[in-house]
């Protein structure tokens, strides 16, 4: 059942309670490898389920528009100070509701409608909010996009510089959601300085690795840093924006009142708890193990003939092109899910297939590392993946349920916060 217990939901709304319990069991029984997912601690789970959700707190500590903030102000201040300390930032705003509004706040703070902005294109591993056509940024601003090299699958900073010099963007975003290699923050910073752009580092995927010392930090290179607080950071579903002193006021005004009203105080509490956890020595061990596991899984898949975009990984994430395996990403992802391995289908660079039926799959190691699995488990995981994908390519469903049962047996020795028998 779900942990902490939910007896009042059990009694008052058994239909919803049943779904919660079943989801807790599902999360326990599968290899969860969507790289943007993780398991939060019981302390974070408790924080987001408190009476803090009852309180409205428009404004910032010491400058609120509602009374009764005697305890909310210190709560938010603690979260801010923990973020600044953990990442070494001069300023932090912990109010954004999620990563997309955080990035939108950057646009509101430093650009006007019609201004040119620049980011990694979505099919090349960027995020929707980095200028994709269907988004607000894509419609209200003038986005220009850079990509990755066809031969290496890596960002070419010479190309980025050429585009930036030609287009003169007001904002340059670096970072992405399907980027398996280290982000060159100093290189991007030099380009942004040369063209007079604000460099915004989107570290949503790698924030926990940065906090744990397993990836270089953008602090000191990017004056504006956006991140979600879940993913590798293992906090609740929320976001933060960190800046240097010069850019702090513009960001705060963009978040409130520019984009949103009252912050979600229960989420702020969960963020504060997660930031304290991320400051412990054990978190550095976790971050290092995430990368070790990803590298080991990449090697095991390559030994089985799988084509990894960029030839491997430096972080928590793998992007696999399945074109040579005779199956598209979507049917492969569905077969893997049935076989107890949850990941997502994903476009690969220069993909010839449509985005909702692409050639690739995206997977990562944050959640399975949280459970305590190490690199010694990765060859077996790769073997299960290969067996399931091979079966799916032949329309053979017979092995999938057996694999799922074998995975449940293995994972029964690795409990998760949030579920117990």
Task: Give the residue numbers of the binding site.
Answer: 122, 126-128
Binding-site entries for (6S)-5,6,7,8-tetrahydrofolate: 122, 126-128
**Catalytic site residue from 46, 55, 56, 387:** 56
User: Which helix (H) or strand (E) is 60 found in, with range?
Assistant: strand 59-60
Sort strands 198-202 and 171-174 into parallel, antiparallel or unpaired: parallel
Q: 299 and 311 in contact (C-beta within 8 Å)?
A: no
User: Which pair of structure tokens corresponds to residue 187?
Assistant: 């290189």
**CA-to-CA dists, residue 357 to 252, 260, 322, angstroms:** 39, 35, 12
Q: What six digits make up the tokens of 188?
A: 């991007």
Chain Cα centroid distance, residue 203: 8
Report the distance separating Cα 174 and Cα 179, nearest Å: 10
Strands 142-146 and 171-174: what pairing?
unpaired
> How far apart, in whole angstroms, are the C-alpha atoms of residue 417 and residue 419?
6
Tokens of 99: 């990563």
Element (H, E) at 10: helix 7-12
Active-site pick, 226, 227, 228, 243:
228
56 counts as catalytic: yes
Handedness of CA 128, 133, 135, 139 (dihedral sign): positive
337 is known as an active-site residue: no
Q: State the greatest distance between any 2 C-alpha atoms of the chain, in Å, as a whole number.
A: 64
231 is an active site residue: yes
Closest by CA to 57, choosing from 256, 253, 238, 263, is: 263
Which of 30, 32, 82, 231 is the catalytic position?
Answer: 231
Q: Of 76, 202, 307, 321, which residue is the catalytic one?
A: 202
Active-site position among 10, 37, 46, 58: 58
Catalytic residue, chosen from 161, 237, 253, 276, is 237
Quote the radius of gyration of the chain (alpha carbons, Å).
22
Annotated catalytic, 177? no
**Alpha helices (H) along 56-199:** 72-87, 99-110, 136-140, 157-167, 185-195
Beta bridge partners of 243: 91, 224
Q: Residue 96 CA to chain centroid, in angstroms? A: 15
| 159 is a catalytic site residue | no
Q: From the DSSP assignment, how many helices (H) and strands (E) are in the chain?
A: 16, 15
The reply to whether 55 belongs to the active site is no
Catalytic residues: 56, 58, 202, 228, 231, 237
């Amino acid at each position: 059942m779900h942990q902490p217990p939910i007896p009042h939901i059990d009694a008052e709304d058994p239909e919803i309670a049943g779904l919660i319990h079943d989801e807790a069991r599902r999360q326990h029984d599968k290899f969860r490898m969507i790289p943007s997912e993780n398991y939060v601690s019981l302390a974070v789970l408790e924080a987001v389920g408190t009476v803090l959700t009852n309180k409205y707190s428009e404004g910032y500590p010491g400058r609120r528009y509602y009374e009764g903030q005697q305890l909310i102000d210190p709560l938010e201040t603690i979260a801010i100070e923990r973020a600044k300390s953990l990442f070494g930032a001069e300023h932090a705003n912990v109010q954004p509701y999620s990563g997309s509004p955080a990035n939108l706040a950057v646009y509101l703070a430093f650009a006007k409608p019609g201004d040119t902005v620049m980011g990694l294109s979505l099919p090349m591993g960027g995020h929707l909010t980095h200028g994709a056509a269907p988004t607000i940024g894509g419609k209200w601003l003038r986005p220009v996009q850079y990509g990755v090299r066809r031969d290496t699958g890596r960002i070419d900073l010479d190309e980025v510089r050429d585009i930036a010099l030609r287009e003169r963007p007001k904002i340059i975003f670096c970072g992405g959601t399907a980027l398996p290699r280290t982000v060159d923050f100093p290189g991007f910073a030099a380009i942004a300085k040369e063209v007079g752009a604000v460099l915004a580092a989107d570290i949503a995927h790698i924030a926990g690795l940065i906090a744990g010392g397993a990836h270089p930090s953008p602090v000191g290179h990017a004056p504006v840093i956006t991140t979600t607080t879940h993913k590798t950071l293992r906090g609740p579903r929320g976001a933060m924006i960190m800046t240097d002193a010069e850019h702090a006021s513009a960001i705060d005004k963009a978040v409130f009142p520019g984009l949103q009203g009252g912050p979600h105080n229960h989420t702020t509490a969960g963020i504060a708890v997660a930031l304290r956890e991320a400051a412990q020595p054990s978190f550095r061990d976790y971050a290092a193990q995430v990368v070790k596991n990803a590298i080991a899984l990449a090697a095991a898949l390559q030994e089985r003939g799988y084509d990894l975009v960029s030839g491997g990984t430096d972080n928590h994430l793998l992007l696999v092109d399945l074109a040579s395996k005779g199956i598209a990403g979507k049917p492969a992802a569905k077969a893997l899910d049935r076989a107890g391995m949850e990941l997502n289908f994903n476009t690969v660079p220069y993909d010839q297939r449509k985005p909702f039926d692409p050639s690739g799959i995206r997977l990562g190691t944050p959640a399975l590392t949280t459970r305590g699995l190490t690199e010694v488990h990765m060859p077996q995981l790769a073997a299960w993946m290969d067996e399931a994908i091979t079966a799916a390519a032949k329309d053979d469903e017979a092995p999938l349920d057996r694999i799922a049962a074998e995975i449940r047996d293995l994972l029964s020795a690795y409990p998760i916060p949030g579920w117990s028998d």
